[in-house]
Amino acid sequence: MALFDQDADIMLVGSDKGEVCRGRAAAETWVGGLLANNRFAWTMDQVDIDVHGETAWAFVDGKMAVSSAATGEQRSPRSVLARAVPVAHPAARAMTKPKRP
């Protein structure tokens, strides 16, 4: 949760139907519940990040694998378009920093 905006009035939207949390407390509860019982891995076929002023937009397309003791591993396609935190935020700077070999 440290990567999210520290404001109490945030909204977190997941990639599945109904995954919308309004407010920091709701987001912390939802993320905590997901991570308590599941492990996640992603294979990204496409990642595009575009910066306009202080706003970064990200589009990712790939597959998500969710593993849990109860269900084993399940894979499903995922496409997400997201507006990122202001570019001045350290998480956004790391996300938009060019990778060098």
- Per-residue pLDDT of 17-61, as tens digits, reads 888 888 888 988 998 988 898 998 888 899 888 888 878 888 889
Q: What is the pLDDT of residue 86?
A: 57
- Per-residue pLDDT of 61-92, as tens digits, reads 999 899 998 889 988 888 777 766 555 555 54
Question: What is the domain partition of the chain in residue ranges?
Answer: 1-37, 40-101
Q: What is the pLDDT of residue 39?
A: 92
Question: For the chain, what is the HEC assignment?
Answer: CCCCCCCCCCEEECCCCCCEEECHHHHHHHHHHHHHHCEEEEEEEEEEEEEECCEEEEEEEEEEEEEECCCEEEEEEEEEEEEEEECCCHHHHHHHCCCCC
